[in-house]
C-alpha cells in the first residue's frame, strides 16, 4: 500500500474549470480502489457549495511563512464516495473571488502569490495532520512550487511526481517576484526556475520532481517539439526516462448511460431506445425543433486552443447538411462572441448557452449524434471518451489524446469509432462534417459505429495501476 498525497488547484465537486478537476477526482478514487491510502489538498474557493459537498471545518489553522510574510489558512475537509479525504484550504484574501484563476477578461494579477502560498501550505497540512506520505503527486503549474519547496525548504524529504495536463499553461511571472514568494536567487537561473527572464511555476515542477508525466502517450511525444512544448521541449527531452505519457481514464461511475441519473432515459448497447428519448430532451432544452438531420453537440471551454474559432465557421455547413448544433460552455470572450454571432443567423437550428451545467453536459452527451472536438492541440481530452460510451460519435482533430482514443471509421471500417481530420484547417474540418452527415444517413453503419464506441473501455483501472507502478519506482 502506498500513501499518496494529491495536490491540485481544482477537483470536482468542489471546483472545476476543465478536465483537471475530473482527473483530480477520478485518479485518487481509482487508486483508493486499488488499496492505496490517498489524500487530496486543494484550495477552498468561495464558489464551493459547502453543505452540498459535505465540507466541514477541522478546527485547525495553519501558518505559512514565505519571504517573511505570514498567511493563515483554515483547514476544511470532506470525503469522496471512494473514501478519499480532501483537505480544502481557506484564505479569504487569496481564494474568496469570483473565479478560480481569473475572470473572462484575464487572469488575476496575484496568482503567483495565491498559488505559492498554497504550495507552501501543503507541507504545513502534512505536518499538522501527521500524514504519512510516500509520494506527492502535483498537477499543473499551480502546484509546481511543491517540488521546489520540497528541495530548498525540506531537503527532499518527500518523493514527488509532476503531471502536466497542458503545456500551454506554464505559470510564468516577472522574475522580480521571486523574492516575494520565497524563491532564492540561487535557483533563479536557466537550470532552475528561470524561463526567458521570468519565473515559471511549471518549470519548477519539471526540474525538481522525481518523475514527470503527461496525460496521453501521443502528447508525450508531441511536447518534445518546440511548437507543442512551448519552449520547454528541451527540458522535457533532458528528463529522458523520467518523463512518460499515461492516458487519462474515465470515471464510469459518473459517465455511464446505463446508470446516469442526469439524463432523460437510461440506455445501453442492448437497448438503445433511450438514445432517441435523450435526443428529444436535448432539443427541448435548447429550444430547437427536430430537423431530422444529425445533431452535433459541443461541451467545453470556448477557447482558441480548443479550435472553436473553426466551429464558428462551420455552422453554415452543418445547417446546409440538414444538421443542428447545440453548444454549452464559457471561455475566451472573443471566441464566445464569434460563436454567438455565427449562431444568431440560424435560431431554429443552432442554440448556444454560454454557461456550464454538469446536468446539461450529460444531456448533450446522451442526446447528440456527434460530438465536436476540433482542438488545435489536446493533451488528452475526456469528452471524446464520454461520447464513445454514450453512443455519440466523436469528430476530432487527430492530435494528442484524441488521436490515441478515436479510431477513424474510414481508415478502419471494421473497427472505427469516430471521425478524425488533419491538418488543422477549415477544409479538413468541413470534410469531417460532411463525412459525419453521410454516416448518419447510413442507418446500419451508423448503428455499428455507435455500438463499437460504447464497447470501448477507458476506465481508470489500468491507468491508475500505471501510476501506482510509477510511485513505487520513486518511493524511498
The answer, yes or no, to whether residue 416 has pLDDT greater than 70, is yes
What does the pLDDT average to over 368-390? 96
What does the pLDDT average to over 49-74? 96
The answer, yes or no, to whether residue 20 has pLDDT greater than 70, is yes
Reading the block at residue 374, the C-alpha cell is: 476540433
Question: For residue 69, what are the contacts with CB-CB under 8 A and spacing of at least 6?
Answer: none
**Sheet-wide strand order for 198-200:** 172-174, 198-200, 194-195
What is residue 476's predicted lDDT score, i.e. its pLDDT?
63
Q: How far apart are CA 219 and CA 404, in angstroms?
A: 9
What does the pLDDT average to over 380-398? 97
Q: Is the backbone peptide bond immediately before 423 cis, with ω within 30 degrees of 0?
A: yes
What does the pLDDT average to over 457-471? 95
What does the pLDDT average to over 82-106? 93
Per-residue pLDDT tens for 307-350?
Answer: 999 999 999 999 999 999 999 998 889 999 999 999 999 999 99
What does the pLDDT average to over 454-466? 94
What does the pLDDT average to over 364-370? 98
Question: For residue 271, what are the contacts with CB-CB under 8 A and spacing of at least 6?
Answer: none
Q: Could you tell me the pLDDT band of residue 475, with boundaries at 50, 70 and 90?
A: confident
The answer, yes or no, to whether residue 172 has pLDDT greater than 80, is yes
Cell 498559488 sits at which residue? 115
What does the pLDDT average to over 414-427? 97
Q: How far apart are CA 107 and CA 68, in angstroms?
A: 26
What does the pLDDT average to over 372-378? 96
Task: Look at residue 128 and give its three-state secondary structure.
Answer: helix
What is residue 331's predicted lDDT score, i.e. its pLDDT?
87
What does the pLDDT average to over 438-451? 98
Comparing CA positions, the residue from 122, 129, 111 lying closest to residue 41 is: 122
What does the pLDDT average to over 55-72? 96
- Residue pair 2/468 in contact (Cβ under 8 Å)? The answer is yes
Q: What angle do CA 463, 469, 473 make, to 5 degrees?
A: 145
Phi first, then psi: what are they for 159, rounded to 5°?
-90, 145
Q: Could you tell me the pLDDT band of residue 236, with boundaries at 50, 70 and 90?
A: very high
What does the pLDDT average to over 232-236? 96
What is residue 230's predicted lDDT score, i.e. its pLDDT?
93
What does the pLDDT average to over 181-195? 94
Helical axes 201-208 vs 145-152, angle rounded to 10°: 60
Q: Could you tell me the pLDDT band of residue 157, with boundaries at 50, 70 and 90?
A: very high
What does the pLDDT average to over 357-386? 96
Tell me what the pLDDT averaged over the chain comes to.
96
- Domains belonging to the chain, first-starting first, are 3-249+460-474 (3.40.50.2000), 273-455 (3.40.50.2000)
Q: Could you tell me the pLDDT band of residue 104, with boundaries at 50, 70 and 90?
A: confident
Reading the block at residue 252, the C-alpha cell is: 464510469
pTM: 0.89
The answer, yes or no, to whether residue 252 has pLDDT greater than 70, is yes
Amino acid at each position: 500500500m502506498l500513501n499518496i498525497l494529491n495536490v491540485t488547484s481544482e477537483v470536482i465537486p468542489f471546483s472545476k474549470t476543465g478536465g483537471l478537476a475530473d482527473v483530480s477526482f477520478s485518479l485518487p478514487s481509482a487508486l483508493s480502489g486499488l488499496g492505496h491510502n490517498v489524500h487530496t489538498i486543494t484550495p477552498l474557493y468561495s464558489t464551493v457549495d459547502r453543505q452540498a459537498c459535505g465540507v466541514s471545518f477541522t478546527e485547525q489553522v495553519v501558518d505559512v511563512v514565505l519571504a517573511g510574510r505570514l498567511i493563515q489558512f483554515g483547514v476544511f475537509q470532506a470525503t469522496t464516495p471512494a473514501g478519499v479525504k480532501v483537505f480544502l484550504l481557506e484564505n479569504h484574501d487569496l481564494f474568496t473571488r469570483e473565479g478560480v484563476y481569473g475572470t473572462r477578461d484575464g487572469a488575476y494579477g496575484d496568482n503567483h502569490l495565491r498559488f505559492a502560498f498554497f504550495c507552501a501550505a501543503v507541507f504545513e497540512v502534512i505536518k499538522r495532520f501527521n500524514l504519512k506520505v510516500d509520494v506527492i503527486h502535483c498537477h499543473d503549474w499551480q502546484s509546481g512550487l511543491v517540488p521546489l519547496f520540497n528541495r530548498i525548504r525540506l531537503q527532499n524529504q518527500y518523493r514527488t511526481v509532476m503531471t502536466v495536463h497542458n503545456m500551454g499553461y506554464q505559470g510564468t511571472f516577472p522574475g522580480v517576484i521571486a523574492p516575494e514568494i520565497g524563491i532564492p536567487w540561487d535557483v533563479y537561473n536557466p537550470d532552475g526556475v528561470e524561463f526567458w527572464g521570468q519565473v515559471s511555476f511549471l518549470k519548477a515542477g519539471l526540474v525538481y520532481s522525481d518523475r514527470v508525466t503527461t496525460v496521453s502517450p501521443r502528447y508525450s511525444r508531441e511536447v518534445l517539439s518546440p511548437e507543442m512544448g512551448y519552449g520547454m521541449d528541451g527540458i522535457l527531452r533532458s528528463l529522458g526516462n523520467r518523463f512518460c505519457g499515461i492516458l487519462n481514464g474515465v470515471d464510469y461511475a459518473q459517465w455511464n448511460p446505463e446508470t446516469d441519473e442526469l439524463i432523460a432515459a437510461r440506455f445501453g448497447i442492448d437497448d438503445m431506445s433511450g438514445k432517441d428519448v435523450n435526443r428529444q430532451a436535448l432539443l427541448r432544452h435548447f429550444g430547437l425543433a427536430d430537423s431530422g438531420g444529425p445533431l452535433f453537440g459541443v461541451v467545453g471551454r470556448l477557447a482558441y486552443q480548443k479550435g472553436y474559432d473553426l466551429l464558428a465557421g462551420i455552422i453554415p455547413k452543418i445547417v446546409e447538411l440538414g444538421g443542428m448544433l447545440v453548444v454549452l460552455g464559457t471561455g475566451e470572450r472573443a471566441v464566445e462572441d464569434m460563436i454567438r454571432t455565427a449562431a444568431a443567423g440560424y435560431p431554429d437550428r443552432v442554440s448556444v448557452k454560454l454557461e456550464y451545467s454538469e446536468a446539461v453536459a450529460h444531456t448533450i452527451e446522451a442526446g447528440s449524434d456527434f460530438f465536436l472536438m476540433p482542438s488545435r492541440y489536446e493533451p488528452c481530452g475526456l469528452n471524446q471518451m464520454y461520447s464513445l460510451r454514450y453512443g455519440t460519435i466523436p469528430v476530432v482533430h487527430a492530435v494528442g489524446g484524441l488521436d490515441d482514443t478515436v479510431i477513424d471509421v474510414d481508415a478502419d471500417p471494421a473497427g472505427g469509432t469516430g471521425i478524425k481530420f488533419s491538418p488543422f484547417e477549415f477544409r479538413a474540418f468541413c470534410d469531417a462534417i460532411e463525412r459525419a452527415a453521410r454516416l448518419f444517413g447510413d442507418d446500419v453503419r451508423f448503428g455499428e459505429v455507435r455500438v463499437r464506441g460504447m464497447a470501448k473501455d477507458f476506465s481508470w483501472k489500468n491507468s491508475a495501476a500505471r501510476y501506482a507502478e510509477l510511485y513505487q519506482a520513486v518511493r524511498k
